Structures are given as C-alpha cells and as structure tokens.
Amino acid sequence: MRSRRVAIAALAVATSLAVTACANRGGGGETSSANYPSKDLTLIVHAGAGGGSDLTARTLAKELESDLGKSIVVENRTGGGGRVGLTYLKDRPADGYSIGFIPVEVAMLGHQGADIKPDQYTILGQVMNAPATLSVPAESPYQTLAEFVAAAKAAPGTITVANSGAGAIWEAATLALGESAGVTFKPVPYDGGAPAVAAGVSGEVKAVMAGVSESGAAAKDGRLRVLAVLAPERVAALPDVPTGKELGVDVVIGGWGLMGAPANLPAEVKQRLADAVHKAASSATFTDVMTKAGNTPMATSPKDATAFTQAEFQRFGEIYQK
C-alpha cells in the first residue's frame, strides 16, 4: 500500500515537471516578413515588474502597440543581474515577434564571465539614459568635485563611495570616475540603489554613486549634495548641478537602455521595428514619463546605437581590466 502511495507521489512530481517543461516551448511559428506584424509581440525585460527598466519597457510598449497595431506582451525574465533575460532574448527566433529591452549590462556581463556580447543582438535604437551622479551627505566638508578628488588624492583608496551592488553599473561608474580624475576611491557595494542612497544620507560613507532617479529625491530635499552629474549635458531633474566635463573631469557614464531583438533580424522587419521604436521613444507620453522619473529620454538610429554599444563594450572591458 505504501509503495503505491510513493509511486503516486513520484508520478505527480514527474507529471508536474513535464507539464511545466512543455509550457515553455511553443510559439515562434514561421511568418513572412511582408505582412509583418501579423501577430502579437513579446517584449522581454531582464528586470522585475515595477523597476526603472520595467517602467521604461511598459511605457514604450503602449506606444509601440498603437503604431504596430498588435498587442505587446511584456515578459519579465529576471535573475542573474540581467543574464537570464539577455540570454533568453538572444536565443529567441529572429522573426521580429520577440523584442527586448537591452540594458547597459549587455556591455558589462561579457567581461564578468557571461556569454553575452552586443553583436548577439539586433539593436534597434537607444531609448533612455540614467546618468550617474556623485553625491555627498549634506553635512559633508566637500563642497565641490575638485575638493572631493583632492581628498582622494591625499588618501588613496580610503574615500568610501557607496554603490548599488558588486558588478553593477554604479560600481563601474566609481571606477571610471577615479580613472578619469587620476585617483582611487573605495567602492562599497550595498544591496540596491536605495540602501546605497540611505548610506549616503546617514553619512556611513563619504559619498554615493547612483542614478539621477535614485539620488534625486534626497538631493531635492537637501539631505544629499550632488557634486557632479556624469552626463554629456546638464539634466532636467538637477539643472543646477554641473557635469563632470564642466568641472574638468571628462567622464560620461550611466545606466542606458536600448530596444533590441535577437541577431540577424530580416532587414524589412528591422526597419519596421526601428521606425516604430524611434517614433515611440520620441512620443510625448514616453519622454514625459522618462523625464519625471529623472532619466533622459533618447531616440537614436540603429546605426548610432550599435556603434555606441560596441564602444561601451570596449570601454567596460578596459574598466574591468584595471
């Protein structure tokens, strides 16, 4: 009697595994590119629902839907700091029905041991950038970036700078800033952007490197002083804060985002999607949501975005070499 029960239990496990395994297949049927799009699209996001990347993707998806005339299902494939989602996207069929939000990690993970490179994707255009900000606690003695750099020069490797996590973009930004200014900071990883900013507000660290959207709230409230924004131009959310370039430290770095698809997308499909992405990224709704969230909306051509991504891939390789 008991062995039968065990067998039933084992069977239940096996069946449930089989069912879930099957559920993952399917989709990806052949359709000609002439009447593209003839069915609904899937937009893959590497991060969980509710985050900045998810917000960008969902806002963009609404605009894309009205242009393409088909529904776009946003699918969050989270895990591995972007590895899971990016790997999933690159392995989808290149038929134009699987597109994805491609984060800055596409240029970083390849240098951190993952099999992810920009040329594994068809890049459709850049849609946003979240420039890095360097901020100090309100009561910090450092009033300018020059003073902060001078302090790091006087005591190399001891000036602590919080970031959102090991291997994340804001840690790389800290390294890049130090490289550019000729000093060494001490990056301290926290468990996300918010705890890093909290450590900056409480003065547990000397400074915090974070995106505009993360440091913006505390900065506007006067509990953080933003010394520099590492963007090509001043940003709308912090109009009084000078850029690194203005202050003589010419480094531009941030958490950017592209729209893309698996590599080798048919030319007509690529053109249709790139046009749609450009239109959606230029729409008033999208630019408005991006600006309010503290990011910089962008709409670049596939060619420019591809060149930019390759350049970023090279650059992160150099940052992680050192």
Q: From residue 199, give the alpha-carbon distance in Å to each of 97, 188, 205.
A: 43, 10, 6
Does 191 help bind another protein (rule: CB under 8 A)?
A: yes
Q: Is 62 helix (H, G, I), strand (E, B) or coil?
A: helix
- Burial label, 216 (beta-carbon count in 10 A; 0-12, 13-18, 19+): buried
Give, as ranges, the residues between 106 and 165 that touch another protein (CB under 8 A): 112-114, 160, 165
262 φ, ψ (degrees, to nearest 5): -60, 160
The β-bridge relationship of strands 121-137 and 254-262 is antiparallel
CB of 270 to another protein, least distance (A): 26
Q: How many whole angstroms separate alpha carbon 287 and alpha carbon 295?
A: 9
From candidates 40, 221, 233, 268, binder to another protein by CB under 8 A = 221
Q: Would you count residue 236 as binding another protein (CB under 8 A)?
A: no
- Which of 38, 66, 202, 314 touches another protein by CB under 8 A? 202
Is 292 a binder of another protein (CB under 8 A)?
yes
E strand or H helix that includes residue 152 = helix 145-154
Residue 23 contacts another protein per CB under 8 A: yes
Task: Please identify, using beta-carbon distances, which residue of 19 and 284 lies nearer to another protein.
Answer: 19
Q: How many CB atoms lie within 10 A of CB 6?
A: 9
Distance of alpha carbon 119 from alpha carbon 93, whole angstroms: 15
Question: Residue 284 interacts with another protein (CB under 8 A)?
Answer: no
Q: How far is the CB of 189 from another protein (least distance, A)?
A: 6
Q: Is 48 in the site for another protein (CB under 8 A)?
A: yes
List interacting residues with another protein (CB under 8 A). Answer: 1-2, 5-6, 8-9, 12-13, 16-17, 19-21, 23-24, 48-52, 54-55, 58, 75-81, 83-84, 87, 112-114, 160, 165-167, 171, 186, 188-192, 194-195, 197-199, 201-202, 204-205, 213, 216-218, 220-221, 223, 289, 292-294
